[in-house]
Chain A
Amino acid sequence: MSLEIIRRIQKGETNLFVEVVDAYKDKAFSLTLKILKNREEAEDSLQEAFLRLYKAIMNNSYEAKAKFSTYFYTIVYNSAIDLYRKYNVKSFNVTSIEINEAKYSDGDELIKNYESKIDKNLYAADDYSTEKVIEKGEVKKIINDYINSIPEQYSVILNMFFLNDLSHEEISQILKIPVGTVKNRIFRAKEKLKELLFRTFKKEELLDYIKV
């Protein structure tokens, strides 16, 4: 978002803020939903985030910040975390990545547990075969299942990186974790997904599917 747009919003062109909301709401909602796992709470959290953003624009506190996306997603993430802490009796068990950093020194323990769970399920499945035509939606289902079941330490980062187009540095800044950890988690999560697909389908089958 350019400084020009911010100036115009400050001068009272509220319709421009509507455009900002419309441009970011879906992607940001996906992130809050990933954290809170409840549509209603995710919407409330995002409303709060946009309201905070509006106030920041109107009282000029935004201008000091270098990049809009970093500033905006910090608000989005913090609003979601605030709401989670307010209702932390619920079963959501991760969210605060920094808390779990202490629990799982580099996060490796958690993904290893998750990977072994995937491996176990995969080899136990009857439909595991080396030759078949990939059915429509089959790959998508595997990817969806993977994304939905991966631990939050990974899914939040993947969401920020792939969906919200944030850089490694921005994610590191927002989540207050080292850039190396961010890169490592994206790489591992993607490699694991690739491995999962290659165990289910042959490389050629997958390439044929992609071409279609």
Chain B
Amino acid sequence: MNELNNINDFLDNSMKSSMLDKPGDDFTAKLMLEIELAKEFQKEDKTTFRYLNLFIIGIIGSIVSSVFILVALLGNRVNENDTATEGILSGMYNFIEGVSQKIFGLLGFRMSGDTVLYVMAIGFVIVIYSLLDKLVFKRNTIN
């Protein structure tokens, strides 16, 4: 039994040693260089994305504020006394309403102009939220 154990131990050790191989001497140095480079690229990407994010946030911000201002103004257009502004707004309102009615008509819906604007506003908020989530709050892989 003891002899068999000796043979088993010998085989285990022999198999272990016969399987061992080594990579090149510069393996660790090359790997660490690759890691440093990856970190460097990550830093550069971070800076680029920071500016890109600011740019996107700026554009999105202006779109959002424009939409909300439009919704607010068009929603109150009946009370407006300024005829010039009312003319422009009414034109825009009629244009948006006309296009939207056609699109929704094709899809089989009937909506008023105000509803279309509210739907557009909600759509914008959803798009903006997903964009912000993806671009601004995204976690980076290498610090």
Query: Which of B3, B15, B28, B142 is close to A147, meaning CB atoms less than 8 Å apart?
Result: B15
> Is the Cβ of A21 less than 8 Å from the Cβ of B18?
no
Contact indicator B19/A147 (Cβ below 8 Å): yes
Known: A29-B23, A163-B20. A47 touches B7 (CB 8 A): no
Q: Verify B23–A163 contact, CB threshold 8 A.
A: no
| Interface membership of B10, Cβ < 8 A | yes
Q: A29-B23, A190-B11, A206-B7 are in contact. Are A47 and B30 (CB under 8 A)?
A: yes
Q: Which residues of B contact A159 (CB under 8 A)?
A: 19
B125 at the interface (CB under 8 A from A): no
Stretch touching chain A among B31-39, B59-67, B76-84, B115-123: B31-39
Q: Is A95 an interface residue (CB 8 A)?
A: no
Contacts of A43 in B (CB 8 A): 23-24, 27
Query: How far does the Cβ of B9 sit from chain A's closest Cβ, in whole Å?
Result: 8
Cβ of B36 to closest chain A Cβ, rounded Å = 8
> Can you name the residue of chain B whose Cβ is closest to the Cβ of A42?
B23
Distance of A27 from chain B, by nearest CB (Å)? 7
Q: How many residues of B contact A (CB 8 A)?
A: 30
Q: Contacts A190-B11, A210-B7, A210-B10; is A144 near B18 (CB within 8 Å)?
A: yes
From DSSP, what is the main secondary structure of chain A's interface residues?
Answer: helix
Report chain B residues within 8 Å CB of A86.
none
Contact indicator per residue, chain A 49-78, by CB within 8 Å of chain B (1) or not (0): 011001100110000000000000000000
B residues neighboring A (CB under 8 Å): 3, 6-8, 10-12, 14-16, 18-24, 27-28, 30-32, 34-35, 38, 139-143
